């Protein structure tokens, strides 16, 4: 079986010669395989299409996808119309369990949640949806009872949105006013304390940082009295302590309610979920949601790129982790050395740094809690802020990607990137940066139309596109799925090595820091009061110092070597703390 997908946003029939129809061999023999509709755009008959792929290659706007599906996928759960996105399968929410969905963006997770909430009726690929047919289809399954409650109006859903940056556009009042509106369970005071929101409760929503907005969104979702809770990415803008704290809160909620979570931070998903559904397919074309798997098994299969039960390969190669930290290289040239410096803000917050050196061609990870001065540190290195004490005359050019990105320009992506640097048109940039980050499909879209994840990839490319000696990227993992994080890691690392440039990456995703960094700069102190940046250290020393401050240890999965959070006070947790092996455990 095959499906034909037309991306109507990319399709520009007035700017082409209808190559899809002109070169289709079935059309030439007289069949109506491709017919242009009243809106001027083509409709492709999936029954008549032979899958030759000529229309795909001839379309000047890459608007057509012809995809061969596994034989088992005969009937979609829902399809948005002819030549439109199709979803196969649904996750199964269960009371007493946290159910996770693991998969790329654009694969149908939002569609699945709309169906489970009752706002979208599955149509099984044919016209309008009908609840009677839905109940008949799921008769004898766990979903039958669930959808029966949906039809009877007995299911109330509470949903945390993916992009918390949009909350200030929808609500202009104080944080307390927003949370009081959602407090249907009478647990607002408890949530404010658990999520450390007391100091921002009287501030306006428009004044909050990304991390504060994320915690407010989690509190607002948890405060509602619902039967089914859906949390769409809890990790962006939160540090690892806040991520673990939020995960523990959600686990407690799941003891009495059904909870569904989409999360791309695998360390958090591993400790948060009881079971996971792996979602695979082709973003924007079709998505398949598997039956539930044990969380460890599901994550490991996803990382390996092969699902044995479904007999499907979802990735040509596995995502791998190194058990041993990178070795120190002694023959690497030093880019720049800096002395200690400090910065204070009206006695409200102060930051001091130790002296250090940066090497050519290396990637430095920067880790520490939120509000500890990491962004202030990189802004001082970038020359955006002047230190109060100590000289910081690095005499190097720096390209900086900020933590919070705004797509407020009507420019198309290609013209935006071309306007930054002529490097955009070089074969190296196109093959080593643009193609892995999947930017080609975004070139003709304006920045204002991009989603958070798409805007993040453009911002990473824009940072690497500039001519500079050092590249600083502040939280490049935000809103990227697992595949995109892995590819972004590879892009940044290869870019630093091939061009002998220094890169500094501030991020809270332990997996990304693990795969990317050769050395670490660890921040300590009291958030929003005092911060201290230590000199660059080896990965082993840096991770030990960072995780000791958090009182967290990681073990290695026997199957994939990926890091997994140890349960507090478990035997392995106690042993590793005694040996000061918080991250790289059992190193020979």
The CATH code of the domain that includes 511 is 3.40.50.300
Q: Is residue 77 part of a domain?
A: no
Structure tokens at 71: 């034989």
Q: Is residue 384 part of a domain?
A: yes
Q: pLDDT band for position 386 (50/70/90)?
A: confident
Distance separating alpha carbons of residues 273 and 262, to the nearest angstrom: 10
Q: Is residue 329 part of a domain?
A: no
Same-domain status, 211 and 300: yes
pLDDT for position 352: 92
Residue after which a domain boundary falls, among 43, 68, 93: 68
**pLDDT mean over 40-47:** 91
Same-domain status, 303 and 228: yes
Same-domain status, 353 and 406: yes
Please write down the HEC assignment for all residues of 232-280: ECCCCCCCHHHHHHHHHHHHHHCCCCEEEEECCCHHHHHHHCCEEEEEE
Cβ proximity of 175 and 202 under 8 Å: yes
Same-domain status, 420 and 543: yes
pLDDT for position 181: 92
Give the C-alpha distances (Å, rounded to integers) separating 174 from 34, 160, 216. 54, 19, 11
**pLDDT mean over 113-119:** 88
Distance separating alpha carbons of residues 502 and 360, to the nearest angstrom: 5
> Whose CA is closest to 13, among 42, 35, 38?
42
The per-residue pLDDT of the chain, averaged, comes to 89
Name the CA radius of gyration of the chain, rounded: 25
Q: HSE on the CB side for 338, CA within 13 Å?
A: 28
- The proportion of the chain whose per-residue pLDDT surpasses 70, expressed as a percent, equals 97
**pLDDT mean over 433-457:** 90
pLDDT for position 329: 61
Q: Is residue 112 part of a domain?
A: yes
Same-domain status, 543 and 559: no
**Hey, is 443 helix, strand or coil?**
coil
Cβ proximity of 319 and 303 under 8 Å: yes
- Residue 132, C-beta contacts closer than 8 angstroms, at least 6 positions apart: none
The CATH code of the domain that includes 11 is 3.30.70.20
Distance separating alpha carbons of residues 42 and 21, to the nearest angstrom: 8
Same-domain status, 195 and 228: yes
Same-domain status, 506 and 560: no
Residue after which a domain boundary falls, among 15, 38, 68: 68
Structure tokens at 119: 């706002």
Q: Is the pLDDT score of 588 beyond 50? A: no
Same-domain status, 509 and 576: no
pLDDT for position 43: 93
Q: Is residue 319 part of a domain?
A: no
pLDDT for position 239: 87
Same-domain status, 515 and 438: yes
Same-domain status, 307 and 242: yes
Total domains present in the chain: 4
pLDDT for position 290: 93
pLDDT for position 451: 85
Q: Is the pLDDT score of 363 beyond 90? A: yes
CB atoms under 10 Å from CB of 65, counted, come to 20
pLDDT for position 336: 84
Q: pLDDT band for position 586 (50/70/90)?
A: low
**pLDDT mean over 48-64:** 91
- The proportion of the chain whose per-residue pLDDT surpasses 90, expressed as a percent, equals 48
Same-domain status, 12 and 39: yes
Q: Is residue 101 part of a domain?
A: yes
Same-domain status, 248 and 382: no
Longest dimension (CA), the chain: 79
Give the C-alpha distances (Å, rounded to integers) separating 334 from 258, 331, 360, 471, 502. 54, 9, 6, 15, 10
**pLDDT mean over 242-255:** 92
CB atoms under 10 Å from CB of 30, counted, come to 7
Residue 20's domain comprises: 2-68
pLDDT in tens, 414-442: 999 999 988 888 998 999 999 999 998 88
366, containing H or E segment: strand 363-367
DSSP state of 432: I
pLDDT for position 328: 64
Q: Is the pLDDT score of 163 beyond 90? A: no
pLDDT in tens, 458-497: 999 999 999 999 999 989 998 898 889 989 999 999 999 8
Q: Is the pLDDT score of 102 beyond 90? A: yes
**Hey, is 122 helix, strand or coil?**
coil
Cβ proximity of 525 and 371 under 8 Å: no
* Phi/psi of residue 412, nearest 5 degrees: -70, 150
Q: Is residue 389 part of a domain?
A: yes
Q: Is residue 327 part of a domain?
A: no
CB atoms under 10 Å from CB of 315, counted, come to 15
């Amino acid at each position: 079986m095959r499906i034909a997908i037309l991306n109507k946003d990319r399709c520009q029939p007035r700017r082409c010669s209808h190559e899809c129809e002109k070169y289709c061999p079935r059309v030439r023999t007289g069949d109506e395989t491709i017919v242009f509709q009243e809106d001027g755009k083509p409709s492709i008959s999936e029954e008549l299409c032979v899958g030759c792929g000529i229309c795909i290659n001839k379309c000047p706007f890459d608007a057509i996808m012809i995809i061969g599906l596994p034989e088992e996928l005969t009937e979609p759960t829902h399809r948005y119309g002819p030549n439109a996105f199709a979803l196969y399968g649904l996750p199964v929410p269960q009371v007493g369990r946290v159910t996770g969905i693991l998969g790329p963006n654009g694969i149908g997770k939002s569609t699945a949640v709309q169906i489970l909430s009752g706002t979208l009726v599955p149509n099984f690929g044919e016209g309008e949806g009908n609840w009677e047919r839905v109940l008949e289809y799921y008769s004898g399954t766990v979903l039958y009872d669930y959808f029966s409650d949906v039809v009877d109006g007995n299911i109330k859903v509470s949903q945390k949105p993916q992009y918390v940056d949009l909350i200030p556009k929808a609500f202009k009042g104080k944080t307390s006013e927003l949370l009081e509106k959602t407090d249907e369970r009478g647990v607002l005071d408890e949530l404010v304390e658990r999520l450390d929101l007391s100091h921002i409760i009287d501030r306006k929503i428009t004044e909050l940082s990304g991390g504060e907005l994320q915690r407010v969104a989690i509190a607002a979702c948890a405060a509602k009295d619902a039967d089914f809770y859906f949390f769409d990415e809890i990790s962006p803008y939160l540090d690892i302590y806040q991520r673990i704290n939020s995960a523990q809160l959600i686990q407690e909620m799941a003891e009495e309610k059904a909870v569904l979570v989409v999360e791309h931070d695998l360390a958090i998903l591993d400790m948060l979920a009881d079971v996971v559904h792996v979602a695979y397919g082709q973003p924007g074309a079709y998505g398949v949601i598997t039956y539930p798997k044990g969380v460890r098994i599901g994550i490991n299969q996803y990382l390996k790129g092969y699902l044995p039960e479904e007999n499907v390969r979802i990735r040509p190669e596995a995502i791998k982790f190194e058990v041993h930290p990178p070795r120190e290289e002694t023959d690497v040239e030093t880019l720049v050395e800096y002395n200690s410096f400090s910065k204070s803000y009206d006695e409200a917050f102060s930051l001091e740094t130790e002296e250090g050196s940066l090497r050519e061609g290396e990637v430095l990870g920067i880790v520490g809690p939120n509000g500890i001065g990491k962004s202030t540190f990189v802004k001082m290195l970038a020359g955006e802020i002047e230190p109060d004490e100590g000289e910081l005359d690095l005499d190097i050019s720096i390209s900086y990607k900020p933590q919070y990105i705004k797509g407020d320009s009507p420019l198309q992506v290609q013209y935006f990137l071309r306007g930054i640097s002529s490097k955009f048109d070089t074969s190296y940039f196109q093959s080593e940066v643009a193609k892995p980050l999947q930017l080609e499909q975004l070139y003709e879209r304006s920045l204002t139309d991009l989603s958070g994840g798409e805007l993040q990839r453009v911002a990473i490319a824009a940072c690497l596109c500039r001519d500079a000696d050092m590249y600083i990227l502040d939280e490049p993992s935000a809103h990227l799925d697992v595949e995109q994080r892995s590819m972004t890691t590879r892009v940044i690392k290869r870019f630093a090595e091939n061009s002998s440039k220094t890169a500094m990456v501030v991020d809270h995703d332990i997996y990304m820091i693990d795969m990317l960094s050769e050395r670490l700069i660890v921040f300590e102190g009291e958030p929003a009061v005092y911060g201290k940046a230590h000199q660059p250290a080896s990965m082993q020393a840096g991770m030990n110092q960072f995780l000791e401050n958090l009182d967290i240890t990681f073990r290695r999965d026997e199957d994939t070597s990926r890091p997994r959070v140890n349960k507090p006070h478990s035997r392995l947790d106690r042993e590793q703390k005694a040996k000061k092996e918080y991250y790289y455990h059992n190193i020979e």
